[in-house]
Structure 1
Amino acid sequence: MKTPVLQFGTSRFLQAHADLFFAEAETPLAVTVVQSSGDASRAKRLAALAAPEGYPVRIRGLEEGRVIDEERRVISVKRTLSTATDWEEVTRVFIEEAEIVISNTGDAGYAPQPEDGAPAFTQAMSFPAKLCHLLAARFAAGAEPLIVMPMELVPENGRVLRARVLEIAAANAASPALTDWIGQQVIWASSLVDRIVSEPLEPAGAVAEPYALWAIEAAPGLSAPCVHPCVQLVPDLEEIERLKLHILNLGHTSLVDMWQRRGAEAGAVVRDFIAIPEVRAELDAIFAEEVIPGFAAAGRGAQAEAYLATTLERFANPFLDHRISDIAQNHAQKVARRITAFVDWAAANGGPAGMPRLAAITARSGQ
């Protein structure tokens, strides 16, 4: 079976997100999954992903007030490979079968490596360097350009990956024809993904919340990879990014500040913490008196209120043990990006002056 989707990454997020959507799509899509890290300890997972009976994804949480607790089977993965041991076959699939390339390799996968300038493939290369070699092979074979759709949590991820691949191509003295083909004819799609995938299942599968989103920024020649309720083609990702950053993420960081002021209990989880009346009252006041008015000033009040309702339901998920200590990592940097940046953005749009609660969080974080 030919697989039009070539996926780099084996994470439990992809298992419960894109791979599940491809299986449930109006027209299901077949996937080849490629492990780009070469981690031999994950060989069992790699084999299980392509089992004929599929693998399970358990959806557990709240949706419009209803408790959801169900299992779905993912049968979209038809083949699994590793760049460490199957590079020749990875290259063949990339040239002969792939129409869409997706990736979720994490920050480590994007990090430049000394081997990125090598004239031939080596496993020690970063993911963008491996992708550059695969694109060069496809171009040399005379195959059509394809769509590259990264899913890493990097703002404008398509543009970032394109720039890095072109940088590597230039360092390797790529021909002007190849550089033009990579930069102008390959479609580089930026996307934003969201779903809390709380734990893995062994040997493959995951537990995930009901909420899921795959928003893809529209571009010439680009269509959504599949028809599925959670997959959206949008004119501009900024609107969705801002809702996520300044409601869901801002809410999490605000809870960290409250948690620290209340003694930073080691085992506290979001679900139980927001059930404390004083905590919920403070969180509600932050949203009602500062965040929603800030969005309203920019003409996005109704969208923000709808997104907030979904966010609070996600926070209350009875099956999800989302530890506040995990959210608290890199707290000062998160305050700057999620809270201070919101206050500045809201002020620029004529939002409420002061925002004393958010200002106090910023001050306590040392920003």
Structure 2
Amino acid sequence: MSNSSLGHLFVVSNFGESHGPAIGCVVDGCPPGLPLCEADLQADLDRRKPGTSRHVTQRQEGDQVEILSGVFEGVTTGAPIGLLIRNQDQRSKDYGNIVDSFRPGHADYTYWHKYGIRDHRGGGRSSARMTAPMVAAGAIAKKWLAMQFGIVVRGCMTQIGDVEIPFQSWEEVAKNPFFAPNATVVDSLESYMDALRKSGDSCGAGLRVQATGVPVGWGSPLYDKLDADIAHAMMSINAVKGVEIGAGFGCITQKGSEHGDEMSLDGFGSNHAGGVLGGISTGQDIEVRMAIKPTSSIRLPRNSINKAGEPVVVETFGRHDPCVGIRATPIAEAMLALVLIDHALMHRAQCADVRVDTPVVPAGRSDY
């Protein structure tokens, strides 16, 4: 199975299956000299791991990361960094009834047709569990970006099912199990999720992720646009079905006089571009939003077919998130950080000596 790597210079190669002995990744291209230990990665893994509240899957995984290589005497060496997370709470028997059947909304059908074989235990490679190694790798990227540029990558929920979450402050995000940036909606979210879980159904979610402090000039025209790579990374997250940069689909109804971000000596007047123009960062905040589909594994009976082409009724057992979006915030943060560090290194490789003599820098820094 190819195409398990992300990045050009900062390359993350993901391995493992949901119910195998372990999952992990190899991070190749991390600059040397970065202070790094397991604790630097564990905080974000703890935010993503299952079993953190009654509103997510109750699979009990510690998600303790082990650094196997690439770090010596507390700093990165420039060699590949091996990261391992052992699976500890698999219940493969829960999937015994779908060995020959295809779950609606899942990758069972497409995997079987593509490879001629599929791992039915928790979805194998298609499981959202495979995002854990990416969160660990993303934590490395976050630390390097913060140390080198003061970049902060953060995310929050904007909507769960029918419940919209007005933005209040970033400080509220860590205070509730929904990553909601508004304390006033938490009770409504609790009630909504309790009713959803009892019904056996699932719901989708909206997510926002932001990077502040990104310098001007990262990215490239055409095929390595910064926003194109961001969209690619976000769409690689399980269950993501839509990505917006800046105004996104809202630009359809905007006039050119409204959408174009005016500039003055004081900076940009707005950020409809989401921090990217022509595929290159503007120095403004990178703003990304995404839509996450409802969890496909639900207790309600669904019509499907089996490998023999016969009609069947599928009932999914096991432990599943009624809304996979709840645990997706640290995943989206990680993927944005991985794209940014990759573009930082590519910019340094090609344009480190570029100096622009200009009387105004509307936002951020123009130099590397």
Q: TM-score, normalised by structure 2?
A: 0.24
Larger fraction in strand: 2
TM-score w.r.t. the length of structure 1 is: 0.24
Structure scoring higher RCO (CA < 8 A, sep ≥ 6) equals: 2
